A = this chain, B = another copy of it.
Amino acid sequence: MPSFDIAILTTAEDLLSGDTTDSNSSVVVEILTRHGYRPRCSLAVSDNEKEIFAALNYLAQQARFVIVSGGLGSGSNALTARAAARALGLPLVIHEEALEMVRRWCDNHHQPMDPANERQALLPQSAQVITNPEGMTPGFSLNKNQCRMFFLPGTLVEMRAMFEQSVLPQLKQDYPEAQLLHRRTLKLFGLTEVRIRTMIPAGRLPEGIDISYTQDFPLILVNLKASGEEAEERLDHAEALLLQVLGDHLMARDGQTAEGNVGQLLTHAGLTLALAESCTGGLLSSMLTRHPGASAFFNRAGITYADAAKQHWLKVPQAILLHHGSVSEPCARAMATGLRQESGTDLALAITGIAGPDGGTAEKPVGTVFLALAGTTEVHAQRYLFAGDRARVQRMSAFMALEWLRRFALQHLDTD
């Protein structure tokens, strides 16, 4: 009896030059998960016939489906086809249907059909060929005892296309809907996992809802899973219960980003924004402008490292810099106020602080960050002390700023 249903095997020249390995297996995991399958095991081995052979034998005992990527084609000397043939006790033969695919590809791409290309069609006898819409190398599938194995090339774009076009439909045929796993993710800001656990009304959640927690710093991800009948309805119910207590901290859901959502909220609220970033060095601007359509709300940002830049671009009075320093509440306020006047935007947000590792003092240690937000009627400012290294302080500062913008935009939409 297989202890898990779907297993993934990736082969690569070298586990470390492991972009390939990692991205192939994570792409397969991501597609499977999106369609409700739950891959339970992922194995990566080097491009070596003996190792692939051992891995295939192991996985065939463990899983009903094995998805293999890599080690096909002439570049890898058809390693995986050889290993598969050995594992199944089958001879390698030139497969006519595969040969025809290779020939057609060569014709279409004006390449000569040489012996190296012919070897692409060397497959274990009785293999069923899988069409490759993106490249020359065909894939194939085979059964070993009760296990069905799919073999795909390692090139990401080819692998993805073949997986979606050929493997998924077969999985769907063999898998009853009731076994599928349905999911929701809530991405929360401003609460620790421990705090979230105490807030969740555990006893009141519907039966058969599985909750787990992961981190995408500084967000906490609450993952809900359910399968079987009415899984979606139970998830709806569970989500509604969670949002009653946690909704105020919700920054994004599955497939969304915090900054993408904040950008949409600002656009929806018709608010324009200018930023002044010092210790975050452009991180927040870069996050917001990664998404298309940012120009609908984003006017400009001043990354004002030098004091002179704060004076020129943000009109921070020299007296403030002299008496309070550039990392201070008065400076943050002046940056936001001056910037708003310069840019004419609805909102101007300023971040100034000490990201470290140097520059901290007893009074203002590393992690000290001031935020200020200038709106139509008032300026709000606050001092924070964030823990962690430079990257964490920068990231936490950017997310806290997003949180301010999110709350402002929501309030604005409410009062409209």
Contacts and interface: CB of A to CB of B under 8 A. Distances in A.
Interface in A278-336: 280-286, 288-290, 292-295, 298-306, 308-309, 312-313
A250 interface: no
Contacts of A294: 281, 305
B3 A54 contact: yes
A306 B285 CA distance: 13
Contacts of A312: 342-343
A62 B288 CA distance: 48
Interface stretch (A44-52, A140-148, A377-385): A44-52
Contacts of A216: 19
A247 to B, nearest CB: 22
A256 interface: no
Contacts of A121: none
B3 A50 contact: yes
Interface stretch (A9-17, A91-99, A238-246, A407-415): A9-17
A212 interface: yes
Contacts of A281: 285-286, 288-290, 294, 298
A267 interface: no
Given A22-B26, A43-B43, A390 B303 contact: no
Interface residues of A, number: 78
**By CB atoms of chain B within 10 A, which of A45, A55, A342 has the most?**
A45
Interface in A254-287: 275, 277, 280-286
A40 interface: yes
B29 A18 contact: yes
Contacts of A390: 290, 292
Contacts of A42: 15, 21, 43-44
B43 A51 contact: no
B303 A300 contact: yes
A214 interface: yes
A342 B214 CA distance: 46
Given A285-B282, A294-B281, A300 B302 contact: yes
Given A288-B281, A306-B299, A40 B26 contact: no
A105 interface: no
A40 B29 contact: no
Given A3-B54, A17-B223, A41-B46, A299 B309 contact: yes
Contacts of A54: 3, 61-62
A218 interface: no
A352 to B, nearest CB: 13
Interface string A134-167: 0000000000000000000000000000000000
A358 interface: yes
Contacts of A275: 303
A365 interface: no
A301 B286 CA distance: 12
Interface of A: 3-4, 13-22, 26, 29-30, 33, 38-46, 48, 50-51, 54-55, 58, 61-62, 212, 214-216, 221, 223, 225, 275, 277, 280-286, 288-290, 292-295, 298-306, 308-309, 312-313, 342-344, 356-358, 390-391, 394
27 contacts: A4-B51, A14-B212, A15-B41, A17-B221, A17-B223, A19-B216, A41-B55, A43-B44, A54-B62, A275-B303, A280-B286, A280-B289, A281-B288, A281-B289, A281-B294, A281-B298, A282-B282, A285-B286, A285-B303, A293-B358, A299-B308, A300-B303, A300-B304, A300-B306, A302-B302, A306-B343, A312-B343
